[in-house]
Amino acid sequence: MKKYTLVIILSVLIAGCSFKPYDIRLEDVQLRAVEKGITVGVYKEYYENGELRSEVVLRDEQLNGLAKAYTKKGTLYAERNYVNGIIEGNYKNYYFSGELHSIGVAKNNKTNGEQKTYYKTGELMEDANMRDGIYHGKTVNYYKSGVRQNEAFYEYGCLKEFSQYKKSGKLKKKYSKEEIGKLFIFMYPNNDYCGN
């Protein structure tokens, strides 16, 4: 039963991380534009089927302004704001079918502040606080019904507190520091236990 619970908890936590705001390489579009001699203005790329693939604004050979990326079917799936080639300000990600996936704020190419992730049907899935692209502060995951599913508290990417809730909203389990250390050691690239 413990292994089953672990899989559920980790799946929920990873779900919020699975769609990173920087998966889209709009910087590559910038390079292709400059290679073609376009250093100022709007540059658009198209798929072979004629659908718009990306649209970026260039100034002095760098991305500046709103940049958008689209699916092969023409559905918007990413919006980023650039300042001198760096992602700054609000960003949005969409499911390939067009529904809003996540919103947040970037500073110096990394998510900083609140990031919200949504189910395809529009309900809030996760409300997370980020600093320099990693979890920092309170993060809450929700069932589709809007009831809190779990709540975590991070310090610079290190999980410090974790509680799991039933669909009724009642506390199911509050994990001890020892349990957190055993269950969540893999969550970050350096696999550091973070000294919980």
Domain ranges of the chain: 1-21+109-196, 23-108
Instruction: Please report where in the chains the tokens 């198209």 appear, as a residue.
Output: 46
| CB neighbour class for 146 (10 Å; exposed up to 12, middle 13-18, buried from 19) | exposed
Q: Is the pLDDT of residue 8 over 70?
A: no
Q: pTM for the full model? A: 0.79
- 23-108 CATH pick, 3.40.630.30, 3.40.50.2300, 3.90.930.1, 3.40.50.150: 3.90.930.1
Q: Cβ atoms within 10 A of the Cβ of 137, count?
A: 15
Rounded (5°) CA angle 56-61-66: 25
What Cα–Cα distance (Å) separates residue 173 from each residue in 153, 162, 164, 193?
A: 15, 9, 5, 21
- Determine the CATH number of domain 1-21+109-196: 2.20.110
Can you give the pLDDT at residue 34?
A: 81
Rounded Cα gap, residues 83 and 136, in angstroms: 25
- C-alpha torsion 106→107→113→115, nearest 10: 10
pLDDT tens digits, one per residue of 105-157: 999 999 999 999 999 999 999 999 999 999 999 999 999 999 999 999 999 88
- Residue predicted with more confidence, 24 or 35: 35
Q: At 133, which amino acid appears? A: G
How sure is the predictor about 14, in pLDDT bands with cuts at 50, 70 and 90? very low
Mean pLDDT score, 59-74: 91
Nearest to 147 by CA among 125, 115, 176: 125
pLDDT tens digits, one per residue of 38-55: 888 899 999 999 999 999
pLDDT tens digits, one per residue of 144-159: 999 999 999 999 888 8
R_g of the chain computed on alpha carbons:
19
Nearest to 96 by CA among 77, 80, 68, 121: 77
Q: Is the pLDDT of residue 191 over 90?
A: no
